[in-house]
Structure formats: C-alpha cells, structure tokens
Structure 1
Amino acid sequence: MSLRPVLETRAAQPHIEGAGVHLHRAFGFGDPSEQDPFLLFDDFRGDHPDMYSKGFPWHPHRGIETITYVLDGEVEHGDSLGNRGTLGAGSVQWMTAGSGILHQEMPRGNAAGQMHGFQLWANLPGSLKMTAPRYQDIQGSDIPEVIDDDGTAVKVIMGELWGTKGPVDGIAADPSYLDISVPPGVKKTFKVDTYRQTFAYVFAGAGAFSDASAPQGVLIEKDVMGQEVNIRDLSGNRTLVRFGTGDEITVQASEEGVRFLLVSGAPIKEPVAWHGPIVMNTQAELQQAMKDLRNGTFIQPAH
C-alpha cells in the first residue's frame, strides 16, 4: 500500500458567477490537465438571498457533464428539452450536456435564508462530446450513508466504499464522489484507485491530509485527543487538497472534526479547447459550437 502525498493545498477564491451568485472557486479555467478529467469546482453558499437568489439564468453547455450537490436550500432547474425539477437538500443532479443543452439553475434558501451547494464540471472524451444530453436526479433519501465503528460517516454519491455503491452510474469518467465526515481526533484511511486523479475539498472543520511520519523539522503538536498533528498541514473550510499518486489517503481530524468531499476520476488525456461552458477537443469544434449558438442550431435533434 502507498499513501498519496499532498501536492498542494489552496484556498478556494471568491468569485461572482451567473447573475450575481457569490461563490468560492477551488479550481477552474486554469490548466485543464491539473485535475483531468475535472475542469471546475465551485462552492456556492450564502446566509442571505442577496448572495444567490438571482441564480444562473439560461446558458449553454456542450462537451461536459455538470454535477450539482445541494446541502442546504434547493435549486430549481429547467432546460431547453423541457425538463423541470427541484433539487432539495441532500440531493444530486448529474447532467450530461453532451451535444448541447440550454438550462438555468435558480437557488433558493431554506427557512433561515441559507443556501449551500457545490458544482463540479467533468470533461467528456471526444467520442462522447456529441452524445445525447441526459439527467440523473437523485434525491437525498436515495443516497446511501455508511457509518464505521469510529463514527466516520460517508455518503456514497458515486463509486463504491466499504461494499456500498452510490446511485449515480454510467458516467464517462467513472468517478468516485464521497461526502465524508470524520469525528474529532479520529485518524482515517480511505482506499483510492492508483490511476485516478483525486482531490479533497474541505468545507467544515479541519484535518491534516499527510503521512503519519511528518518530514523532519516540521512542527508537530498534539490535539485534544492526544493525536499528533502536523499543524502546518491542517486544511480548513474551503480548502482544496491535491494529491500525488498512491492507493490510500489518510486524514487526521482536528479537535472539531472534519467534513470533506473526496472525488476521483479517470484522466481523459485529450486536447482541450475551452470557452466558458463549452469544452471541446479542437478550436474548430469550439468555433462550430459558437456558430451553432449564433445560428440557433446549438440544440441537436434526437437520434
């Protein structure tokens, strides 16, 4: 077994998207090979409707899949194919844009006015970029949660953990998407596929994603549970953790515990031509998509 080293930790950056939604972007519109097959990850949350209520009005997508996971509040969605629906707290929508779709997403807060969700973009290989669009809407009650003896709780959205499979399937990148909560002071190891690109995103509490044997000269202290923690490696709220290669990831939860998403997928390793919500392989394909938008032929007929 080999523990994946931490290549980088970085804070998600404030950003305004859509018609004025305040969010934090962990990665996106940078080097597409860095997180291949993933292109972008946004954390949108707010305690007041002014921060999110104008939402994401009608906009196009082609050549990618978008994954929306709602923690608090809800998101109403509609598209050019006539689909309508509402994602409630705990639910997930996996949208395969494929050949092209126009849609909108409008967040609404809970009774206290709070809204929190995530959106991840996954690339499609060239062979599937013009596939027919489709949706998978998964209610929170249909997402299995497994709880280990030490209190670690994992919602298995996609992939498999401890013999439990998530409900989302048929995705090109064949990813794993886990929502993990580790109790205060607990150290936990998770198996990951050696050949998958993997990242963690911490959104509550804090934890140290590092080898038990810290490098010489790095400051070590003990938390309230008596566990040694490399305090320079603690990752807290809105922190992206990028990993190197290996087949295990270990996290040491802080005295407040830690909650994070653990996401992995098979790299596509293809050229990327990217403009906003449209991601193709070549500039010619990208130009054709923009031409289709102008000409009103962006939505392809069903085959």
Structure 2
Amino acid sequence: MSIRPVTEARRAMPTMEGAGVHLHRAFGFQDPSELDPFLLFDDFRNDRPEDYLRGFPWHPHRGIETITYVLAGSVEHGDSLGNTGTLGAGDVQWMTAGSGILHQEMPLGNARGQMHGFQLWGNLPSSLKMTAPRYQDVQGTEIPEMIDDDGTVVRVIVGEFWGRRGPVDGIAADPQYLDVSVPAGVKKTFRIDTYRRAFAYVFEGTAAFADASRPTGVLLEKEVMGQELNIRDMSGDRTLIRFGTGDEVTVQAGPDGVRFLLISGAPIEEPVAWHGPIVMNTQDELRQAMRDLQNGTFIKAAH
C-alpha cells in the first residue's frame, strides 16, 4: 500500500455564475489536465435567497457530463428534451450533455432560506463527445449509506465502495464519488485505484490528510492507534485537497469531526478546447458548436 501525497491544498474562491448566483469554485477554467477527467467543481452554498434565486437560466452544454448533488434546499430543472423535475436535499442528478442540450437550473432554498449543493463537471472522451444526451435523476433514498464501527459514514453516490455500488452508472470517467463523514479524532484510510486522479473537498469541520511526500511534517498532538501521523496543517471548510499517485488516502479528523467529498476518476488524456459550457477536443469543433448555436442546429435529432 502507498499513501497518496498531498500535491496541493487550496481554498475555493468566491465567484458568480448564471444570473448572479454567489458560489465558491474549487477549480475550473484553468488547466484542464490538473484533475483530468474533471474540469470544474463548484460549491453553491448560501443562506441569502437574493444571492441564489436568480439561478442558472437557459444555457447550452456540449461534450461534458455534470453531476449536481444537493444537500439543502431544492433545485428545479428543465431541458430542451422536455425533462423537468426538482432535486431535493440528498438527491443527485447526472446529466450527459453529449452532442448538445439546453437546460436551466433554478435553486429554491429551504424553509429557512438555505441552499447548499455541489456541481462537478466531467469531461467526455472524443468518442463520446457527440453521444445522445441523457439524464439520471436519483433520489437520496436510493443512495447507499454505510456506517463503520468507528462511526465513519460513507454515502456512495457513484462507483463502488465497501462492497456497495452507487445508483448512477454508465459514466465515461468511471468515477468514484463519496460523501464521507469521519467522527472527531478518528483516523481513517480509504482505498483508491492507483490509475485514478483524486481529490477531496472539505466542507464541514477540519481534518489533516497524511502526506507521504512530507515525512517530516507537523505531528498531531494526539496519538492515533499508538502511532503519530505526519500531516500537513489541518484543512477546514471549502478546502480542496489534490492528491498524487498511490492507492490510499489517510485522513485524521479534527476536534469537531470532518465531512468531505472524496472523488476520483480515470484520466482521459486528450486535447481540450474549452469555451464556457462547451468542451471539445479541437478549436474547429468548438467553432462548429458556436455555429450550431447561432443557426439553431445545436440540438441534434435522437440517434
């Protein structure tokens, strides 16, 4: 077994998207090879309705897949294929844009005005860029949730973990998407296939991730299972942790415990031509997508 080194720990940055939604972006619109096959990750969390109610009106996507995971509040959605629905707390939607789709997402919040969710963009390989669009809407009750003996809770949104498989399938990036809660003071190790790129996103509490590349790092004051763990400084709310290669991630929860997403996927390693919500392989393909939008041929016939 080999611990994945922590290559970077950075805070998500505040930004605005859609018609004026305030959110925090952990990565996106920079180096697409950084976390290949993933392109962008947003944390939309707010308790001021005026900061999110204008939502994300009609906009196009082509060449990518998006996963929306709602923790609080709800999101109404509709698309050019005639699909409509509402995502509630705990629900997930995976949208394969493929050859092209127009859709909108309108956050509503809960009775206390709170809204919280995440959106992740996954790239599609060239062979699937123009595949037929599709949706997978999953209710929170369908997502497996396991509790370990030490109190660790894992929701398996996509992929397989601890012998359970998440309900979303057929995803090109072959991802694993876990929602993990580790109780205060508990040290936990999670296996990740070596060939995957991986990151964690901390959104509650604090934690330290073991780092094989820093054997002389800061030591925890508390011993865990009789062994001190060499760690980076504690990472808190809205922190992205990027990992290098290896086959396991070890985390030490802080004094109030920690909740984080642990996400990994198989890199595509293809050229990326990217403009806003459209991601292709070449500039010519990108220009064609723009022409399709202008002349009304962006939405392709079912195939």
Give TM class, smaller chain: over 0.9
- Alignment-mate amino acid for residue 137 of structure 1: D
User: What is the Cα-based RMSD across aligned positions, in Å?
Assistant: 1.6
Matched with 2:236 is 236
- Asked if residue 219 in structure 1 is aligned to residue 218 in structure 2, the reply is yes
CA contact (8 A) 2:136 2:168 kept: yes
Matched with 1:246 is 246
CA contact (8 A) 1:180 1:259 kept: yes
How far is the alpha carbon of 1:168 from its aligned partner?
0.4
The share of aligned pairs that are identical, in percent, is 77
- Asked if residue 284 in structure 1 is aligned to residue 295 in structure 2, the reply is no
- Alignment-mate amino acid for residue 88 of structure 1: G
Report matched runs for 1:25-104 at 5 Å. 25-104=25-104
- Alignment-mate amino acid for residue 15 of structure 1: T
Report matched runs for 1:79-158 at 5 Å. 79-158=79-158
> How many positions carry a matched residue from both structures?
302
How far is the alpha carbon of 1:267 from its aligned partner?
0.3
- Alignment-mate amino acid for residue 278 of structure 1: I
* 1: CA distance, partners of 2:131 / 2:88: 28
* 2: CA distance, partners of 1:75 / 1:61: 18
Task: Give a deviation string over 1:184-243, Cα, whole Å, max 9, x none.
Answer: 000000000100010000000010011489633x33242598985667421110000000
* 2: CA distance, partners of 1:11 / 1:227: 29
SS in 2 for 1:286: helix
CA contact (8 A) 1:223 1:254 kept: no
* 1: CA distance, partners of 2:61 / 2:52: 21
* 1: CA distance, partners of 2:222 / 2:79: 49
Matched with 1:210 is 210
SS in 1 for 2:50: helix
Report matched runs for 1:157-172 at 5 Å. 157-172=157-172
Unaligned runs of 5+ in 2: none
* 2: CA distance, partners of 1:212 / 1:28: 27
* 2: CA distance, partners of 1:73 / 1:100: 28
TM-score w.r.t. the length of structure 2 is 0.96
CA contact (8 A) 1:93 1:138 kept: yes
* 2: CA distance, partners of 1:117 / 1:277: 19
- Alignment-mate amino acid for residue 135 of structure 1: Y
SS in 1 for 2:136: strand
Matched with 1:296 is 296
SS in 2 for 1:285: helix
How far is the alpha carbon of 1:251 from its aligned partner?
0.2
Matched with 2:195 is 195
- Asked if residue 263 in structure 1 is aligned to residue 255 in structure 2, the reply is no
Unaligned runs of 5+ in 1: none
